[in-house]
Amino acid sequence: MSQDSLSGRKVVVTGGSRGIGKAVALAFAQNGASVSICARGVAALEDTRAMLARAGGTVHAARCDLSDPHDIPVYVAAAAEALGGIDILVNNATGSGLSDTEEGWDASLSVDLMAVVRTSGAAMPFLLESKSGAIVNVASISGLAASPRTPPYGAAKAAVIQYSATQASQLIRKGVRVNCVAPGAIEFPGGVWDTRRTSDPSLYEKTLLRMPLGRLGRAEEIAEMVVFLASPRASWVVGQTIVVDGGQLLTQ
């Protein structure tokens, strides 16, 4: 992608210190954008901030508990001040609420769903002021099919997919495009599938065998789609959920 298409754009990435969020933030920075990231873990946040700074452009990083409705507007306001506005919002964070328990449901609904709603609302004045704003929500293929191993996660991601379409219909005439990305199984250091390789090798191998390309996905492959959807090259793409799963859904 031409660097000029995103040069000078101001991007906020939630859950931007590791995995998909980290790859997304780096891809934007490498394409000339200024980037703000947030996460709960301070050490990983600082490591990623330093990495982004080496890519050039303005970088902002701040701790934010996205399950806390009071933290979100404080972070978004600080990000907008540091960057000089917000043109692009990537709602990427997950609460990793996998178990069918009160805790699992609370984690998924508070972060995977409500943080999308709250962060979008907090960023909206800046996105509208941008005149060519974009939101990309990161969901999952778990939101497109039954999710027996992770009921709260799948339900929350299904809601994100539906909400993305609703956002798109509400905002497109106001100059803000909204789209969604639904990744398949993505492996990165410290992530769920990296952990399952050793904690649940049977599930890992079973999943791997079902992958048509013979491997799990990489965070950078999701980042490429997110950056494309947020860029002027996707100016005619509105309200879509794009599956990026290496054909995984074809085998389910």
Q: Please compute, for residue 122, the number of CA atoms within 13 A of its CA located in the half-sphere on the CB side.
A: 24
Handedness of CA 81, 84, 86, 91 (dihedral sign): negative
Rounded to 10 deg, the angle between the 19-30 and 219-230 helix axes is 50
CA 168-157-251 angle, to 5 degrees, is 110
Handedness of CA 153, 157, 158, 163 (dihedral sign): positive
Burial class (CB in 10 A: 0-12, 13-18, 19+), 196: middle
CB-CB neighbours of 140 under 10 Å? 25
Told to judge if 204 belongs to the known catalytic residues of this protein, a careful annotator would answer no
- Residue pair 89/120 in contact (Cβ under 8 Å)? The answer is yes
Torsion angle of C-alpha atoms 232, 238, 239, 243, degrees rounded to 10: -60
- Residue pair 147/106 in contact (Cβ under 8 Å)? The answer is no
Instruction: Catalytic residue, from 75, 153, 163, 204: name it.
Output: 153
Residue numbers annotated as active site: 153
